[in-house]
Amino acid sequence: MKFRKVQEVGRGTLLISLPKDWARRVGVSRGCFVAVRERADGCLVIDPSYESPAEPTKVSLVFSGKSLERVRWEIIGAYLLGYDIIEVKVPEHISPEEREKLRGTIQNLIGLEILEEDSQRLVVQCLLDPSAVAPRKLLRRVNTITLSMQGDAVKALVDGDERLARLVVKRDDEVDRLYFLMVRLLRSAVQNPKLADGFGITPIDCLDYRVVANIVESIGDYAVNVAESYLNMPKERDLSELAEALKDVSSILRDMQNLAGGAFLSKKIGLVQKVKEELHSKTVERLNRFDLLVAGQKPKLIPYLHTISASLSEIEKCCIDIADLVIPLS
């Protein structure tokens, strides 16, 4: 850390000198322009390269000696860490099926495109401009999708619609893609203050957004549990006695998630009380009623219905967790 004494010249103009070693290293000399911006904590940031595009970051991954699954997760990890170019060195004996699965992993990550490919390597680059995608919009989109997934999963149960249940399971892929993109953007924003400024968020906001994104992604997983439990039930199932209770629970959960997500994005603490008290009490009451009805169903259906009840209960807890994060924000 270097200290500088503030000097006053003219009529109240304050000056400090720049460290000579730093100026030489970054190419700042007499007549140069630098950008000065204020952080949320009051510190000033002096940026000598505010107009210079950042150099793309690169990483090289080696397939040889590793399982396909490990390489796939290494690609996802490099994507989440914000690398712009990912080179995968592949052995010549890799099967067409394995190569196709690698391509599938790459295609499921938003912005990644294969630029070069031969028998020994794959070169992938992220062509997405991070400043063009705001985390706020992504979070709102993911919240809307998982909200719909929860409602459709219960509707599939009530209506006996297997096609709708399968659509809920399939929609989880889109949630995962958006979630991975959000993690990438938030990590990049923490490392690049200029990007965070463009998003209109602080490093603390990045942490909160990361936590909420994970919670909302979990809601999608619990909705998938509901849909899969219905699909795995014995075919001779009659859930008509549970229909009204299920619809009541689903309706309240939708209200909870809507309010909790809206409270987080708007930083309105006034919405938190309704989520944590009124809607929480209603959900617990409806779930208890549903569990009593489950006890009277056919024994072979009860394990699946307990999984559904537990998944809906976890969605309620997720909404409470989102609401809890609003309190320090406000």
Of 84, 106, 130, the residue that ends a domain is 130
pLDDT at residue number 105: 92
**24 shares a domain with 81:** no
pLDDT at residue number 51: 63
What is the total count of domains within the chain?
3
Cα 228 to Cα 242: distance, rounded to the nearest angstrom: 17
Residue 276 in domain: yes
**217 shares a domain with 96:** no
CA terminus-to-terminus distance, the chain: 33
Cα 280 to Cα 308: distance, rounded to the nearest angstrom: 18
Which amino acid makes up residue 20? K
Of 130, 155, 176, the residue that ends a domain is 130
**252 shares a domain with 155:** yes
**206 shares a domain with 112:** no
User: What's the chain's average pLDDT?
Assistant: 89
**153 shares a domain with 166:** yes
Neighbouring C-alpha atoms within 13 Å toward the C-beta of 146: 35
Cα 148 to Cα 172: distance, rounded to the nearest angstrom: 11
pLDDT tens, residue by residue, 125-167: 999 888 888 999 999 999 999 999 999 999 999 999 999 999 9
Which of these, 204, 177, 211, 175, lies nearest to 189 by C-alpha position? 204
Contact in structure between 37 and 141 (CB atoms under 8 Å): no
**How much is the pTM?**
0.83
> Does the pLDDT at position 33 exceed 80?
yes
pLDDT tens, residue by residue, 83-130: 999 999 887 777 888 889 989 999 899 999 999 888 888 899 999 888
> Does the pLDDT at position 330 exceed 60?
no
pLDDT category at 54 given cuts 50, 70, 90 is low
The pLDDT > 70 percentage for the chain reads: 98
Neighbouring C-alpha atoms within 13 Å toward the C-beta of 170: 6
**165 shares a domain with 40:** no
**145 shares a domain with 105:** no
pLDDT tens, residue by residue, 162-195: 999 999 999 999 999 999 999 999 998 888 777 8
Residue 210 in domain: yes
Residue 52 in domain: no
Three-state DSSP class for residue 137: helix
Strand order in the sheet with 112-117: 58-62, 85-89, 121-126, 112-117
Residue 107 in domain: yes
**280 shares a domain with 170:** yes
Of 130, 163, 191, the residue that ends a domain is 130
Neighbouring C-alpha atoms within 13 Å toward the C-beta of 236: 3
**112 shares a domain with 70:** yes
Q: What are phi and psi of 89, to 5 degrees?
A: -85, 120
Q: Alpha helices of the chain — where are they, by DSSP H?
A: 20-26, 68-80, 96-107, 135-159, 162-191, 193-199, 203-232, 243-266, 272-273, 280-294, 302-329
Residue 41 in domain: yes
Instruction: Supply the CATH number for residue 182's domain.
Output: 1.20.58.220
Q: In b/e form, how buried is each residue of 150-172, taking b as 16+ CB within 10 angstroms?
A: bbbbbbbbbeeeeebbeebbebb
pLDDT tens, residue by residue, 236-283: 788 889 999 999 999 999 999 999 999 999 888 888 888 988 899 999
Residue 2 in domain: no
Three-state DSSP class for residue 113: strand
**294 shares a domain with 235:** yes
**305 shares a domain with 234:** yes
DSSP-derived pairing of the beta strands 58-62 and 85-89: parallel
Which range of residues forms the domain containing residue 36? 7-47
Residue 85 in domain: yes
**253 shares a domain with 144:** yes
Instruction: Supply the CATH number for residue 104's domain.
Output: 3.30.110.20
Residue 187 in domain: yes
